[in-house]
Amino acid sequence: MAFEQPPAPFPPEVRSEFGLDRGMVFLNHGSFGSVPRSVRAAQDGWRDRLESDPIELIGRRIGELLAEVKRDLATMFGGAAESYGFVTNATEGVNAVLRSLPLAQGDELVCTSHVYFAVKQAMRSRCLESGAVLREVSVPLPVRGARDLIDPVMAAIGPNTRLVLLDHVSSATATRFPVEDLRARLPAHCLLLVDGAHAPGAMDLRIDAIDAEFYTANLHKWVMAPRGSAFLRVRGDWMPRVHPCVISHFFGDGYEKEFDWQGTRDFSAWLAVPAALKFLRELGLQRVIEHNHWLASWAHRQLVEGLGIEPATPLDGSCLTCMASIRLPETLRRFGRVEHLQADLRARERIEVPVMEWDGGWWLRISAAVHNLPEHYEVLLRALQARVAG
């Protein structure tokens, strides 16, 4: 696809499913998602049921209720239903894996320079307590293709590398990493933890085919489930050795029971996940993925050409999903801090879009969701052009 034309938008009745302030140009679905009204209604329904009969549903039936949700997840993303454990967010999934891993002085944990900062902090913390070493591998942009993203990682792996953590889609740089290729090339002594925070609903995802020991992901971004719904999927051989961050009643009783019960919580977010999967299926998962990818790739091209900058990833969209990041022209650094530019775009143009520092530059990330329209990115381009011109 050339991405010279924007894709046809979803109809207004789909876009009006979202409670976003209509006065805003909302280009940051990627941070905290946006929940369709039908999904929220399903969650409300669960809250009514839980409220009406809490002991029966939370105390006695929660395992079977969550098992149903996990079957739905496994149908969509592959693997055994019982290998899915619910967490609040992908950062929690990463923490659970890191804590469950026996680490000793001299062990190495590897990540790339694209790693999500919260995850890097969790790795740092785990290294501080265990004596392991965190090795952050520089993967500079621009890249010509997926292979450029993996070669530096492979070059950094040594005999002491215990675990490689790879972002499936990176946060600041919105780049899709070829995790399957890394898995195929990884030596047997290296465990693979994929941070798929931005992956489900954003690509054709079959987690079992990736064959990582650990895969964690958010459902509140591109699956559009309620915030606080995320999962950790652990490969069968590792399931008995992985525990949730909160040790509770069922410690030692196995992965399923331990993750199902991490203390009292509002289970309605997890229970509403099937409603989000249904929303996606009714729109057509493939259609959503293609629309968002096409829109992100088209907008990426518009911004790159309109600003006359070098793209960080190929213009054919091969390293993108439904987000794209551009390195902003240096002149915009006169705003002093990324937050100031971001605040200016919000205050004066009603555009909500993240601007982040990465690898010495300022990066702007766009998201393309089913509620976005081509003109949203045209508004952004004009706003950036005006600011570049001064």
**β-strand partners of 193:** 165, 214
**Candidate list 2, 5, 16, 19; residue touching a copy of itself; CB under 8 A:** 19
- The two tokens of residue 135 are 């090795």
**Candidate list 5, 16, 54, 318; residue touching a copy of itself; CB under 8 A:** 54
Question: Segment 234-273, which members bind a copy of itself (CB under 8 A)?
Answer: 243, 245-252, 262-267, 269
Residue 55 binds to a copy of itself (criterion: CB under 8 A): yes
SS3 of the chain: helix, strand, coil, percent, to 5: 45, 15, 40
CA–CA dist 12, 9 (Å, integer):
9
CA–CA dist 250, 369 (Å, integer):
39
Amino acid at 136: E
**Candidate list 2, 16, 41, 56; residue touching a copy of itself; CB under 8 A:** 56
Please answer whether residues 152 and 187 qualify as being in contact, where contact means their C-beta atoms are separated by less than 8 angstroms.
no
Residue 20 binds to a copy of itself (criterion: CB under 8 A): yes
CA–CA dist 383, 25 (Å, integer):
12
At residue 280, φ and ψ (nearest 5 deg) are -65, -45
CB closer to a copy of itself, 91 vs 297: 91
- The two tokens of residue 360 are 């010495």
Residue 224 binds to a copy of itself (criterion: CB under 8 A): no
Question: Segment 93-112, which members bind a copy of itself (CB under 8 A)?
Answer: 95
Residues 6+ away with beta carbon under 8 Å from 22: none
Interface region with a copy of itself, contact rule CB under 8 A, candidates 15-23, 201-209, 283-291, 301-309: 15-23
- Number of residues engaging a copy of itself in binding (CB under 8 A): 61
Please confirm whether the linkage preceding 142 is cis (ω < 30° from 0).
Answer: yes
**Candidate list 6, 196, 200, 228; residue touching a copy of itself; CB under 8 A:** 228
Amino acid at 381: L
Rounded to a whole number of angstroms, the minimum distance from the CB of residue 354 to a copy of itself is 8
Interface region with a copy of itself, contact rule CB under 8 A, candidates 52-60, 78-86, 148-156, 233-241: 52-60
**Candidate list 2, 104, 117, 337; residue touching a copy of itself; CB under 8 A:** 117
**β-strand partners of 149:** none
**Candidate list 25, 42, 76, 90; residue touching a copy of itself; CB under 8 A:** 90
Q: What angle do CA 141, 123, 228 make, to 5 degrees?
A: 90
- The two tokens of residue 180 are 């399957």
Residue 125 binds to a copy of itself (criterion: CB under 8 A): yes
Residue 118 binds to a copy of itself (criterion: CB under 8 A): yes
DSSP 312: S
Rounded to a whole number of angstroms, the minimum distance from the CB of residue 386 to a copy of itself is 22
Residue 309 binds to a copy of itself (criterion: CB under 8 A): no
Residue 140 binds to a copy of itself (criterion: CB under 8 A): no
- Per the rule left: phi > 0, alpha: psi between -120 and 50, beta: everything else, 79 is left
Other CB atoms within 10 Å distance of the CB of residue 231: 27
Residue 88 binds to a copy of itself (criterion: CB under 8 A): yes
> Under the rule (CB under 8 A), what is the footprint of a copy of itself?
18-21, 24, 28, 31-35, 40, 44, 47-48, 50-56, 58-59, 88-92, 95, 117-118, 121-122, 124-126, 218, 220, 226-228, 243, 245-252, 262-267, 269, 346, 352, 354
